[in-house]
């Protein structure tokens, strides 16, 4: 399985049979490694409704026929646009052709502004993906919260994506604590350096992970990891 970081919080997963994209924000993203029209997907997974996470979801789903999976209000938002969408909610788990997804809590907001009006799009979330017994945790945008200990103790996470940008999410210090609590075998920092306000040193964060005995990689947009290499 090939897992590619495309910048900000966007991750593309190629299972070998199916393709999944998480939080596609490419158009208008100054550090994006791909353009929207270069992305192939069977599923679009969304953690919450902010434009820097759903920006290209509609165009990708419409062009590829991909199914959107998101919190129920956010799924309904896209379903109303005539797109295939499946709604789930916190704590819920379901099986799909790629494996399974379980929605986890995240401490954040979720809305979009349309014609000057703020549209509520449900709660923010993270998720646990089980793809061929390889477990990926994408926390979404979140603050540090103590139930991450529970997520870690029950999930046997192989790879985690955690935001470190601060200001809108937890910063590096809290993300280090989160990494300890979730007990992931490998951690990748996300949601940083897209804009000046969330500028952080990803390499320093990974070095600090290593001091805690946690493996990690500060992927540059366009860099990939192979699940087989992470589990050797």
At 87, list the tokens.
């709604």
Query: What's the pLDDT tens digit per position in 134-152?
Result: 999 999 999 999 999 999 9
Query: What's the pLDDT tens digit per position in 13-29?
Result: 999 999 999 999 999 99
Query: What's the whole-number mean pLDDT along residues 113-123?
Result: 93
* The dihedral sign for the CA sequence 33, 35, 38, 43: positive
Domains of the chain, first to last:
2-222 (3.60.15.10)
Query: Does residue 208 have a pLDDT over 70?
Result: yes
Give 229's pLDDT tier (boundaries 50, 70, 90): confident
DSSP label of 20: E
Q: What are phi and psi for residue 88, nearest 5 degrees?
A: -135, 180
Between CA 67 and CA 44 the distance in angstroms is 6
Query: Does residue 113 have a pLDDT over 80?
Result: yes
Between CA 90 and CA 180 the distance in angstroms is 23
Give 230's pLDDT tier (boundaries 50, 70, 90): confident
Between CA 41 and CA 149 the distance in angstroms is 32
Query: Does residue 231 have a pLDDT over 70?
Result: no
Which of 89 and 114 is assigned the larger pLDDT? 89
Query: What's the pLDDT tens digit per position in 47-86?
Result: 999 999 999 999 999 999 999 999 999 999 999 999 999 9
pTM above 0.85, yes or no: yes
Which of 115 and 164 is assigned the larger pLDDT? 164
Query: Does residue 87 have a pLDDT over 90?
Result: yes
Q: What are phi and psi for residue 93, nearest 5 degrees?
A: -130, 145
DSSP label of 56: T
Query: Does residue 122 have a pLDDT over 70?
Result: yes
Query: What pLDDT does residue 75 have?
Result: 98
């Amino acid at each position: 399985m090939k897992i590619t970081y495309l910048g900000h919080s966007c991750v593309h997963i190629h299972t070998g049979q199916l393709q999944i994209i998480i939080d596609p924000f490419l158009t208008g993203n100054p550090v994006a490694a791909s353009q929207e029209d270069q992305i192939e997907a069977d599923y679009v997974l969304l953690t919450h409704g902010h434009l820097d996470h759903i920006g290209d979801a509609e165009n990708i789903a419409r062009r590829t026929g991909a199914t959107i999976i998101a919190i129920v209000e956010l799924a309904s938002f896209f379903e109303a646009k005539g797109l295939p969408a499946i709604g789930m909610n916190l704590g819920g788990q379901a099986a799909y052709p790629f494996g399974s997804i379980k929605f986890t809590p995240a401490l954040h907001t979720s809305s979009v502004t349309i014609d000057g009006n703020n549209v509520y799009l449900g709660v923010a979330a993270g998720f646990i993906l089980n793809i061929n017994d390889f477990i990926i945790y994408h926390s979404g945008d979140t603050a540090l919260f103590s139930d991450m200990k529970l997520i870690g103790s029950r999930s046997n996470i192989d790879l985690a994506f955690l935001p470190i940008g601060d200001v809108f999410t937890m910063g590096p210090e809290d993300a280090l604590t989160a990494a300890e609590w979730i007990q992931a075998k490998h951690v990748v920092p996300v949601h940083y350096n897209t804009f000046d306000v969330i500028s952080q040193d990803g390499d320093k964060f990974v070095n600090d992970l290593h001091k805690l005995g946690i493996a990690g990689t500060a992927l540059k947009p366009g860099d990939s990891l192979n699940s087989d290499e992470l589990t050797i």
